[in-house]
């Protein structure tokens, strides 16, 4: 019985090797996307990496169940988005991170000035004020210059819906930021 189980498990591992190679390719091409989606929600580099890593681990566990492998990026984006929101809503963890990063120049670059930091904070605040449906659309439009068709494919929504949400999101941001 044990031998039989070992043989079956061995053949499964053989199948798993192909899956692992495929997943490795997906990881290389989608790691930046997952990280940026997570970063757009949690705003901390370390937290964003943790969330993206968690999303990849979850995707890896369920990769076998994904029938259409071409939808991996869309699947990963939605998974990362949900995980990032859960992470953000966990007040206790966020408070712990805040104290840990209190004296750390987390996302600052050499070119950043106090004025640009204020402007960034203002934009993030306006983005946070958007409903989730509009927020994810405007974020994906800002990542890697995705167009409406690509955003629609990532979110598995009709292009018309994406277009109207993008229009609404931009309008609300302009209104919030008092930009013309």
Which residues of the shown chain bind another protein in the complex (CB under 8 A)? 1-2, 4-6, 8-9, 12-13, 16, 20, 23-24, 27-28, 31-32, 35-36, 39-40, 45, 48-49, 52-53, 56-57, 60-61, 107, 119-120, 123-124, 127, 138-139, 141-143, 145, 170, 173-174, 177, 179
Q: Which is nearer to another protein, 92 or 115 (CB)?
A: 115
Q: Concatenated DSSP letters for 22-79? A: HHHHHHHHHHHHHHHHHHHHH--HHHHHHHHHHHHHHHHHTGGG-S-GGGHHHHHHHH
Distance of CA 156 to the CA centre of its chain: 15
Tokens, residue 127: 């983005």
In whole angstroms, how close is the CB of 180 to another protein at the nearest point?
9
Q: Which is nearer to another protein, 4 or 105 (CB)?
A: 4
């Amino acid at each position: 019985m044990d031998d039989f189980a070992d043989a079956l498990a061995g053949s499964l591992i053989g199948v798993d090797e192909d899956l692992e190679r495929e997943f490795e390719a997906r990881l290389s091409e989608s790691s930046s996307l997952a990280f940026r989606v997570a970063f757009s929600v949690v705003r901390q580099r370390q937290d964003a990496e943790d969330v993206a890593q968690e999303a990849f681990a979850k995707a890896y566990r369920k990769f076998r169940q994904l029938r259409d492998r071409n939808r991996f990026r869309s699947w990963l984006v939605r998974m990362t988005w949900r995980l990032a929101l859960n992470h953000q809503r966990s007040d206790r963890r966020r408070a712990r991170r805040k104290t840990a990063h209190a004296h750390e120049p987390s996302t600052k670059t050499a070119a950043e000035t106090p004025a640009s930091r204020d402007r960034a904070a203002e934009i993030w605040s306006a983005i946070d004020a958007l409903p989730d449906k509009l927020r994810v659309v405007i974020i994906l439009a800002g990542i890697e210059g995705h167009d409406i068709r690509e955003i629609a494919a990532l979110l598995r929504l009709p292009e018309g819906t994406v277009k109207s949400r993008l229009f609404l999101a931009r309008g609300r941001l302009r209104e919030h930021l008092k930009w013309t």
